[in-house]
């Protein structure tokens, strides 16, 4: 398993070759912000349209899979509900992280790109959200063979890359003992 860091920009998104893009949706956030906002921009407001037409849920853990219509390098997009941003707690972050990792696993893809659940709108430290996501990656993928070839692209601001990479390095050393 590899984890790489990418800055949040349209140009960076275009450089990633992953099977699915994972985004989060907060309740009552119009227009979408962060990575979801970049996606919405690239899809000419498609995500906003889905939200307005109630065809996509923002309830915690709800997931909606839809195609990127060739406008991105990712053939599929999976949007997860994050609920109310004022109620986004470490428990909700863990629940959403678990749902994301389990869904990506069930899609049988070899790679995904995502931001840490709750990015940019939460008071939960990036370190904590990274540890929660890594814990779920370990839980779900640890049953796989040691040759697991799964790539994760984390789309986060550049100023967080060093801190988050340190956490990933520790997890990688632990995985070597598991996988």
Strand runs labelled E in 61-122:
63-67, 76-83, 111-114
- Distance separating alpha carbons of residues 26 and 69, to the nearest angstrom: 23
- With DSSP H G I counted as helix, E B as strand and the rest as coil, what are the percentages for the chain, rounded to 5? 45, 20, 35
Q: Which CATH class is domain 2-178?
A: alpha beta
Question: Which ranges of 107-157 would DSSP assign to H, the alpha helix?
Answer: 126-141
Q: Write the DSSP symbol of residue 115.
A: P
Strand runs labelled E in the chain:
2-6, 20-26, 63-67, 76-83, 111-114, 151-155
Each of the 179 residues of the chain gets a pLDDT tens digit; together they read: 889 999 999 999 999 999 999 999 999 888 999 999 999 999 999 999 999 999 999 999 899 999 999 999 999 999 999 999 999 999 999 999 999 999 999 999 999 999 999 887 788 999 999 999 999 998 888 766 544 688 999 999 999 999 999 999 888 777 666 55
Whether the upstream peptide bond of residue 31 has omega within 30° of 0, thus cis, is yes
* Residues recorded for the chain: 179
- Distance separating alpha carbons of residues 90 and 99, to the nearest angstrom: 14
Domain coordinates of the chain in residue numbers?
A: 2-178
């Amino acid at each position: 398993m590899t984890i790489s860091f990418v800055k949040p920009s349209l140009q960076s998104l275009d450089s990633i070759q992953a099977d699915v893009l994972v985004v989060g949706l907060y309740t009552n956030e119009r227009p979408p912000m962060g990575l979801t906002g970049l996606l919405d921009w690239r899809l000419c407001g498609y995500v906003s349209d889905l939200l307005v037409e109630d065809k996509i849920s923002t309830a915690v853990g709800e997931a909606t899979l839809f195609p990127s219509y060739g406008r991105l390098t990712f053939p599929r997009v999976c949007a997860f509900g994050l609920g109310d941003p004022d109620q986004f707690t470490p428990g909700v972050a863990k629940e959403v992280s678990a749902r994301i990792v389990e869904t990506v696993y069930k899609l049988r893809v070899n790679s995904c790109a995502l931001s840490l659940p709750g990015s940019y709108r939460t008071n939960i430290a990036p370190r904590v959200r990274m540890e929660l996501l890594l814990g779920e990656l370990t839980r779900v993928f640890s049953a796989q063979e040691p040759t697991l070839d799964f790539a994760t692209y984390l789309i986060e601001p550049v100023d967080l890359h060093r801190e988050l990479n340190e956490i990933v390095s520790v997890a990688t050393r632990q995985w070597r003992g598991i996988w």
